Chains A and B, each alone.
Chain A
Amino acid sequence: MGKIIVMTSGKGGVGKTTSSAAFATGLALRGFKTVVIDFDVGLRNLDLVMGCERRVVFDFINVINGEAKLNQALIKDKRVDNLYILPTSQTRDKDALTKEGVERILNELCKEFDYIVCDSPAGIERGALMSLYFADHAIIVTNPEVSSVRDSDRILGVLNSKSRRAEQGMEPVTQQLLLTRYDPERVEKGEMLKVDDVLEILAIPLLGVIPESQAVLRASNIGMPVILDENSNAGQAYLDAVGRFLGEDVEHRFTTVQKKGLFSRLLRRSA
């Protein structure tokens, strides 16, 4: 029986799609059969980040409406075994997501996959609510920045009251924090909230800290999940986070300023 993970944040632009793509890829790299679903109806982007935009024929909404079979809409990743993408519709609106429809598709996917990663749209509207409603695990993507932290807190409130697990009095959705775009240098200067500050405010366990990294843009430019860029800090941080998600005890990296050695200072190389 597959587990449903929602990547959510409330606020837009914090890295939900980047993280969904990276995380799903990471789980597939570990051998788990994984599908990542775009819930941002009308603003499809996961396909671009995953580099499969030209292979989209049918989408999530087509399957919900019975216009296509699930297998017709699922796109198999060309780089990683066990990884599938379910793109969303670019033309319809979010009302196309019905609770019954989403439930039916997720149930079907749960039979076939180990993990279903739901990439939530921003906001707390229908699309976001549908993406988190059936979740077993929630990964809260947050930037060390006031509006993102506040919105994350809001979305935690929604998870605790409006998810299926909350409504049916089941064991609550597990919640973990993924702090993205973290810049240790600015933290050291007192210009950015520390990991511990955010943890203290949101009071949920830390899954990982993804450092601000140029590799993220480079990866999305070419349609590759950044986790496949194993030389980058961000890629390594995502690999670590996936390990922690699977219960491994992985030490946090990239949370402090890395002192540059003489050699790298001479070469002026940036990570």
Chain B
Amino acid sequence: MSIFSFFRSAPKTSAVQAKERLQIVMAHERVGRSGPDYLPMLQQELLAVIAKYVDIDANKVEVKLDRGGDCSTLEVNIELPGRDQIKAPAAKDSTPSKPANGLGKDEDDDKATPIKSAASVLTNGGVSKRR
């Protein structure tokens, strides 16, 4: 072992890679089934309505249902194109890569998102954490 290996960061072990891959794939899969069956339909219809008025990127829409103890929140995040984005289309798009079930770190969205419309709707209280 050379003295330089001390300074190099250790390569990721296969177990660490396994964990990361699982977290990513399962975050996606849980979104698909986390909510009631109407969630994907709701997302599509919301998109269709908004797309009538604004030019939006389908990948920058996030519909999320969080179940809490007493109440659940339905969160709809739609990234709208900002004025300056026309000039600089290469804005960092952080939203789609974010694991939607909160497994990942909370990202600082402010910089990347020109305008963000967020709506929260209370639904009936769900007791179980996931469904």
Complex interface: stretch among A43-51, A60-68, A149-157, A231-239? A149-157
B19: nearest chain-A partner, CB-CB: A197
Give chain A nearest CB distance to B29 CB in angstroms: 7
Q: Are the CB atoms of B30 and A153 closer together than 8 Å?
A: yes
Question: Taking the complex as formed, is A105 at the interface, i.e. its CB lies under 8 A from any CB of chain B?
Answer: no
Question: Taking the complex as formed, is B23 at the interface, i.e. its CB lies under 8 A from any CB of chain A?
Answer: yes
Residues in A neighbouring B19, C-beta threshold 8 A: 193, 197, 200-201
| Chain A, range 18-48, C-beta contacts under 8 Å to B | none
In the bound complex, how far is the Cα of B19 from the Cα of A179, in angstroms?
15
Q: Mark A139-160, 1 if CB is under 8 A from B, else 0.
A: 0000001100110011011001
Residues in A neighbouring B116, C-beta threshold 8 A: none
Question: Taking the complex as formed, is A161 at the interface, i.e. its CB lies under 8 A from any CB of chain B?
Answer: yes
Question: Taking the complex as formed, is A191 at the interface, i.e. its CB lies under 8 A from any CB of chain B?
Answer: yes
Residues in B neighbouring A146, C-beta threshold 8 A: 18, 21-22
Q: Mark B26-44, 1 if CB is under 8 A from A, else 0.
A: 1001100100000000000
Give chain B nearest CB distance to A46 CB in angstroms: 30
Q: Are the CB atoms of A166 and B13 closer together than 8 Å?
A: no
Residues in A neighbouring B128, C-beta threshold 8 A: 160, 166, 172
Number of A-B contacts (CB under 8 A): 50
* Size of the chain B interface, CB-CB below 8 angstroms: 19
A194: nearest chain-B partner, CB-CB: B15
A187: nearest chain-B partner, CB-CB: B15
Residues in A neighbouring B15, C-beta threshold 8 A: 187, 190-194, 197
Main secondary structure of the interface of B (DSSP, over half): helix
Residues in B neighbouring A172, C-beta threshold 8 A: 127-128
Q: Which of A157, A192, A194, A201 contacts B33 (CB 8 A)?
A: A157
| Chain A, range 189-208, C-beta contacts under 8 Å to B | 189-194, 197, 200-201, 203
* Size of the chain A interface, CB-CB below 8 angstroms: 23
B10: nearest chain-A partner, CB-CB: A190
Residues in A neighbouring B29, C-beta threshold 8 A: 150, 153-154
Q: Mark A4-24, 1 if CB is under 8 A from B, else 0.
A: 000000000000000000000
Q: Which of B16, B22, B129 contacts A190 (CB 8 A)?
A: B16
Residues in A neighbouring B13, C-beta threshold 8 A: 189-191
Q: Are the CB atoms of A160 and B130 closer together than 8 Å?
A: yes
| Chain B, range 109-130, C-beta contacts under 8 Å to A | 127-130
In the bound complex, how far is the Cα of B25 from the Cα of A194, in angstroms?
18
| Chain B, range 71-116, C-beta contacts under 8 Å to A | none
In the bound complex, how far is the Cα of B89 from the Cα of A244, in angstroms?
57
Residues in B neighbouring A166, C-beta threshold 8 A: 128, 131
Residues in B neighbouring A191, C-beta threshold 8 A: 13-15
In the bound complex, how far is the Cα of B128 from the Cα of A156, in angstroms?
12
Q: Which of B15, B129, B131 has the most CB of A within 10 A?
A: B15
In the bound complex, how far is the Cα of B128 from the Cα of A157, in angstroms?
11
In the bound complex, how far is the Cα of B128 from the Cα of A172, in angstroms?
7
For this complex, 11 residue pairs linking A to B, each with C-beta atoms less than 8 Å apart, are A146-B21, A149-B22, A153-B30, A157-B33, A157-B130, A166-B131, A190-B13, A191-B15, A192-B15, A197-B19, A201-B22
- 5 A-B pairs closest in CB distance: A190-B13, A197-B19, A190-B15, A160-B131, A172-B128
Known contacts A161-B33, A197-B18; 6 further A-B pairs (Cβ under 8 A): A146-B18, A150-B29, A160-B131, A166-B128, A172-B127, A191-B15
